[in-house]
Amino acid sequence: MANWKCSKCGYTTEKAIPPDECPSCKQKCEFIDNTCYTPDCQGAGVDNRIK
| Distance between CA atoms of residues 18 and 43, nearest Å | 22
- Identify the CA nearest to 14 among candidates 47, 51, 48, 46: 46
The pLDDT score that the predictor gives to residue 9 is 95
15 contacts 36 by C-beta, under 8 angstroms: no
pLDDT (0 to 100) of residue 46: 80
**pLDDT tens-digit readout, 1-51:** 899 999 999 999 999 999 999 999 999 999 999 887 777 776 677 877 776
- Return the pLDDT at 36: 79
- pLDDT of 18 reads 94
The total of other beta-carbon atoms located within 10 Å of residue 41's CB is: 16
* Greatest distance between any 2 Cα atoms in the chain: 34
The pTM for the full model equals 0.77
